[in-house]
Amino acid sequence: MGYAVETTKLTKKFGAVTAVRDLDLRISTGEVFGFLGPNGSGKSTTIKILLDEVRATSGTAQLLGLDSHDDLVELHRRIGYLPGELRLPADLTGGEYLDFLAGLRSTSDEKHRRELLERFDLDPTRRLRHLSTGNKQKVGLVQAFMHRPELVLLDEPTTGLDPLVQHDFHEMLRAEAEQGMTVLLSSHALSEVDQVADQVGVIRRGALVAVERVDVLKAQARRQLNLEFAASVPRGVLESAPGVYSVEYAEKSATIRFEGDVDALLRTAVAVGHLVSVRTPEIDLEEVFLGFYRDAPPDLGQTP
């Protein structure tokens, strides 16, 4: 299948600050890859390097088997991009703007463009200055997908969109991936990445700290058990079970955060006596993500 995105030891320094360090990233063709990190983690800088908006200090980057710098003209015909801060020419209509981009790329799929405009309920005759924030974002989505790119780089793509449009966009994203499109999705909306991503890369202080399938990351995360007892719970007993990270007690209940196997913990809880119920809230990606930052050093977030 091969890689749609491949970087080797990719590094970017701004003076004394290293924004991206030794980044080895592999994204397979047809994969939706969630790229997660707080502001200043190096996420946006990485995307700008891939697009040749910023030149790497060292290392290499290839998109669709081509060099991200030497083959830039060819790549711009084959990739789509939605920036995190979308700037549109206010005096143009949506249709004029899309025509302009189609001319730059020397590629056009009028039928697909019309389908996208209809899907997002956009009037291409309206001037961009008159559009709401959400409709401007829709224009950004149309321009990113209208030429049927092989690879799409999306930075906070659902900003300003209402929940119904977000849902429709997620369905479209999965359908495109099933047809072979590769997606690099950078988002602060962890629930969004959870819904659509095959794999997730977590970046901290410019370095990848994890690249894993979403289901595997969740399995490795600290989990939670909510236990209810018929009588008061003796303090200190539940903490002795292997893998227990913390215990919060109420009069007849305990909330336990733990890692690893639940069997030993349940045996300990049963031994306490009078166990009435056990509930296990589902782990979401936000909890997994925060786990990588609980012990982050104090200078986290100081990279560009």
197 found inside a domain: yes
* In a shared domain, residues 171 and 259: no
DSSP run (H or E) holding 20: strand 17-28
* In a shared domain, residues 238 and 114: no
User: What letter represents residue 31's amino acid?
Assistant: E
Which tens digit of pLDDT belongs to each residue from 68-111? 999 999 998 999 999 988 999 999 999 999 999 999 887 778 99
User: What letter represents residue 287's amino acid?
Assistant: E
Report the pLDDT value the prediction gives residue 150, as an integer from 0 to 100: 97
Look up the pTM and report it.
Answer: 0.77
* In a shared domain, residues 245 and 199: no
* In a shared domain, residues 72 and 89: yes
Task: Report the distance separating Cα 9 and Cα 25, nearest Å.
Answer: 9
Which tens digit of pLDDT belongs to each residue from 260-296? 778 888 888 888 888 999 987 766 666 676 666 665 5
Which tens digit of pLDDT belongs to each residue from 241-266? 888 888 988 888 989 888 777 888 88
Poorest-pLDDT segment among 45-54, 70-79, 205-214, 215-224 = 215-224
Which residue carries 């990739």 as its tokens? 79
User: What letter represents residue 284's amino acid?
Assistant: D
Neighbour order of strands in the sheet with 151-155: 79-82, 151-155, 182-186, 32-36, 199-204, 207-213
- Under the banding of pLDDT at 50, 70 and 90, the label for residue 304 is very low
300 found inside a domain: no
* In a shared domain, residues 38 and 181: yes
Which tens digit of pLDDT belongs to each residue from 159-206? 899 999 999 999 999 999 999 999 999 987 777 888 899 999 988 889
157 found inside a domain: yes
- Total domains in the chain come to 2
Range of the domain at 231: 222-281
